[in-house]
Structure 1
Amino acid sequence: MKWLDRVLLTRVRIAWLILAFIAGVGFGASMAPEPDRNSIEEILDQLLRKLSQ
């Protein structure tokens, strides 16, 4: 039973990470001042800068 709980918790964590990543990318794209700045690299760079502050 412990391994089942561990697997379910891991899946929930992965699902939350994916949802948070999608939400963060969407937020970063909506906050981009110019349309050419919403590339994946720029969005990830913005997220890393916000997280490191």
Structure 2
Amino acid sequence: MYGEVLGRRAGSARSEKEIAEFVAEGLEFTVHTVEVCIACRWNHLLTSEVAYGKC
């Protein structure tokens, strides 16, 4: 998850429940879904979506 409003919470893996809680707080941020490759030791981006909190 990335977004200025997340502060120190940005850049780390989160559960779907935690993401829903951030949305409920009214925050807007980007959620990246990645696949971790143990062969090349790289995280491959699968999707990137913007999550919008309640107005």
Q: TM-score, normalised by structure 1?
A: 0.30
Structure with the bigger RCO (C-alpha within 8 Å, sep 6+) is: 2
| Bigger share in strand | 2
- Rg larger for: 1
Q: TM-score, normalised by structure 2?
A: 0.29
